[in-house]
């Protein structure tokens, strides 16, 4: 019990259901460590620093000091082990290729024991296999398999921790950003949001989750990707709520279906980690190898820029891209529509989209973002097939029927009557005039015509299939 243990916090900035912390607290004195090693100026990194500040305060309130260092983790951990004369290092696995490489280096050079835990997932990635002992490639089968498994219970907050309490470290400086208006970091905030969603909103999830103008999803993704809440806690609290509801028989059907849909969505995250573990090349190569020969267009900088800035002339696409620019978030349905527009209408490689999202998403998560882009591009295992091309106007009419979302993010279109809001290009001149819009000046003409783009994409896909047959 007299051991000194370093708990290395990474994307797990919490104390509830933190297996590494829980075991360290049982085994000895805990030195909480965070290593800042990001050089890229991304929104996710901005949020991480807010989360670190909140976490530092949370620990301070418990009489603990978070040791914050900057630099190469492999080197820093060795230095901190020496400085504290530590006996062991505990932390949670990460699953990206870079993290795994770093992990191996650490295992090679550390002179003290290391204990690692699967703290940020429901199940250990790589352990859910089909009857042939092969990884699942289809989500529904993966979901059914996982749903039938007992998921381990979350760890409680350790009852008593012998924390390190020393000189406070400084959190690296963050730029002043408009993001401040949209985000509040911290484990308490994450738990509060989750429980409020579970009690007041989850019933509507099934019906409204695809409508970006309705506040019907959990908005937990940034808390999950920075580990301010654990998926196991969410899983068990949702299942417990289901049991209570079924006993009370109140609103049973809607609640059950809706909660099940929500849990399924959470398992997409798990599926992403599963894929990243088995197929690490997913981060930059198509999972369906035939797509290596796909004829992507050389990105036209003007078109790419119009997409990034939300100036394509398709309101739902533009609203999504502006929401992303302004807030660092985009609704899931709109991520699909904007992603599809980039890869299918503009035929620009999905890696361009993946890179832009990874820079702007506050909830950026390597596994989810990569799987999302492979899904959108039709290059993943269980993706939307390439030939299914979203019509951005029809998607807008279907999922933003009253225009709430478009009007929020495209103020220049606010005065357009609803029947023209989803595609101003088709509005009569006098309607545009009445709404104070000159197309090409206040709002762009479409940068590409939908029917033309659709046919070009399908032809390019046919070409790929022809080449495949010839090989």
User: Under the criterion CB under 6 A, does residue 395 sit at the interface with ligand FAD?
Assistant: no
User: Under the criterion CB under 6 A, does residue 221 sit at the interface with ligand FAD?
Assistant: yes
CA 241 → CA 199, 205, 207, 357, 369, distances in Å?
9, 15, 19, 34, 30
Q: CB under 6 A: which stretch of 145-153, 250-258, 360-368, 401-409 binds ligand FAD? A: 360-368
User: Under the criterion CB under 6 A, does residue 84 sit at the interface with ligand FAD?
Assistant: no
Which has the closest alpha carbon to 88: 23, 38, 160, 132? 23
* Of residues 243-262, those binding ligand FAD (CB under 6 A): none
Q: What does the alpha-carbon distance between residue 282 and residue 267 come to, in Å, rounded to a whole number? A: 18
Minimum distance of ligand FAD from residue 435's CB (angstroms): 31
User: Under the criterion CB under 6 A, does residue 332 sit at the interface with ligand FAD?
Assistant: yes
User: Using the rule CB under 6 A, which residue among 18, 344, 364, 422 binds ligand FAD?
Assistant: 364
Q: CB under 6 A: which stretch of 47-55, 103-111, 130-138, 356-364 binds ligand FAD? A: 356-364
For ligand FAD, the closer of residues 266 and 431 by Cβ is 266
User: Using the rule CB under 6 A, which residue among 91, 139, 373, 409 binds ligand FAD?
Assistant: 373
Burial code (b: 16+ CB inside 10 Å, e: under 16) for 108-145 equals: eebebeeebbbbbbbbebeebeeeeeebbbebeebbee
Minimum distance of ligand FAD from residue 455's CB (angstroms): 24
- Which two tokens mark 175? 């730029």
- Which two tokens mark 113? 């024991």
User: Under the criterion CB under 6 A, does residue 377 sit at the interface with ligand FAD?
Assistant: no
User: Using the rule CB under 6 A, which residue among 365, 437, 448, 457 binds ligand FAD?
Assistant: 365
User: Using the rule CB under 6 A, which residue among 14, 269, 308, 345 binds ligand FAD?
Assistant: 269
Following CA atoms 6, 11, 13, 18 in sequence, which dihedral angle do they give, to the nearest 10 degrees? -70
Number of residues in contact with ligand FAD, rule: CB under 6 A? 27
CA 440 → CA 310, 424, 437, distances in Å?
14, 11, 9
DSSP assignment letter at 201 = I
Q: Are strands 114-117 and 88-92 parallel, antiparallel or unpaired?
A: parallel
- Which two tokens mark 276? 């990243």
User: Using the rule CB under 6 A, which residue among 33, 272, 287, 406 binds ligand FAD?
Assistant: 272
Q: CB under 6 A: which stretch of 83-91, 109-117, 185-193, 333-341 binds ligand FAD? A: 333-341
* Residues 6+ away with beta carbon under 8 Å from 10: 34, 35, 91, 92, 94, 227
Interface with ligand FAD by CB under 6 A: which residues? 209, 217-221, 224-225, 265-266, 268-269, 272, 332, 335-336, 339, 357, 361, 363-365, 368-369, 372-373, 376
């Amino acid at each position: 019990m007299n051991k000194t243990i370093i708990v290395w916090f990474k994307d797990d900035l919490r104390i509830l259901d933190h297996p590494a912390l829980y075991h360290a607290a049982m085994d000895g004195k805990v030195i909480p460590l965070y290593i800042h090693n990001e050089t890229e100026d991304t929104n996710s990194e901005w949020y991480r620093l807010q989360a670190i500040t909140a976490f530092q305060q949370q620990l301070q309130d418990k009489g603990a000091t978070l040791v914050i260092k900057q630099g190469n983790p492999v080197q820093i951990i060795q230095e901190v082990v020496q400085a504290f004369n530590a006996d062991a290092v505990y932390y949670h696995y990460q699953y990206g290729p870079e993290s795994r490489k770093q992990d191996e280096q650490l295992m090679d050079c550390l002179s003290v024991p290391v204990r690692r835990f699967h703290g940020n997932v429901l199940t250990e990635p790589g352990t859910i296999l089909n009857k042939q002992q092969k990884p699942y490639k289809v989500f529904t089968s993966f979901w059914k398999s996982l749903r039938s498994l007992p998921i381990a219970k979350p760890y409680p907050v350790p009852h008593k921790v012998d924390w390190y309490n020393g000189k406070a470290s400084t959190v690296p400086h963050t730029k002043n950003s408009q993001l401040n208006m949209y985000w509040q970091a911290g484990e308490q905030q994450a738990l509060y949001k989750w429980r409020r969603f579970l009690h007041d909103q989850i019933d509507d999830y099934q019906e409204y989750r695809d409508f970006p103008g309705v506040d019907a999803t959990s908005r937990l993704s940034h808390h999950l990707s920075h580990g301010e809440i654990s998926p196991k806690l969410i899983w068990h609290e949702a299942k417990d709520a289901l049991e209570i509801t079924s006993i009370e028989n109140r609103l049973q059907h809607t609640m059950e279906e809706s909660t099940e849909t929500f849990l399924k969505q959470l398992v997409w995250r798990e599926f992403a980690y599963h894929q990243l573990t088995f197929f690490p090349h997913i981060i930059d190569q198509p999972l369906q190898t035939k797509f290596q020969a796909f004829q992507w267009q050389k990105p036209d900088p003007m078109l790419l820029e119009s997409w990034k800035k939300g100036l394509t002339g398709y309101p739902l696409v533009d609203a999504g891209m502006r929401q992303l620019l302004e807030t660092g978030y985009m609704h899931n349905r709109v991520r699909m529509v904007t992603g599809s527009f980039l890869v299918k209408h503009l035929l620009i490689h999905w890696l361009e989209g993946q890179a832009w999202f990874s820079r702007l998403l506050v909830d950026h998560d390597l596994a989810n973002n990569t799987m999302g882009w492979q899904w959108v591009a039709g290059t993943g295992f269980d993706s939307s097939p390439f030939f299914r091309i979203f019509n951005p106007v029809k998607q807008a009419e279907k999922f933003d029927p009253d225009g709430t979302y478009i009007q929020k993010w495209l103020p220049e279109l606010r005065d357009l009557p609803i029947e023209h809001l989803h595609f101003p290009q088709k509005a009569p001149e006098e309607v545009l005039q009445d709404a104070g819009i000159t197309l090409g000046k206040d709002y762009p003409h479409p940068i590409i015509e939908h029917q033309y783009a659709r046919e070009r994409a399908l032809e390019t896909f046919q070409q790929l299939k022809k080449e495949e047959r010839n090989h």
